[in-house]
Amino acid sequence: MALPSDFADLAPYADWDLATEPERYAKRLASTMGEMQQFYDVAFARLEDAITYLDKFDLNDLPDDARSLMHVMQSLVMVSFPIEAWKQARVPDSGAAWIDCIREPVV
């Protein structure tokens, strides 16, 4: 993962640079709440800066480092409900339910 230099503080979370929703969901399920909390705390603090930075680019023509930053922020969204609301990685009371994302906004 190569992030924009202004976001070097996110480099320890390179394993959250995941291009697809299924990859992000699998990473969420494989992570402990402590790991997700640590990632959430650091990434959430940079969310506004990331949005401002990414808004400079066309979504369909992102430089590689900006694409990596976008993927990290998409992973932040993936962990936000477990951290903020559910206090667990899985969706509460969902049993064996599963949804497959068939199209990503940017690959």
Three-state DSSP state, 99: coil
Of 81 and 19, the one with more pLDDT: 19
Question: How high is the pLDDT of residue 99?
Answer: 59
pTM of the model: 0.81
Cα(72)–Cα(92) distance, integer angstroms: 24
Q: What is the pLDDT of residues 5-35, one digit of tens each?
A: 999 999 999 999 999 999 999 999 899 999 9
- Cα diameter, the chain: 42
Contact 68, 3 (CB under 8 A): yes
Domain residue ranges in the chain? 14-86
Contact 8, 21 (CB under 8 A): no
Q: Interhelix angle for 64-81 vs 21-30, to 10°?
A: 50
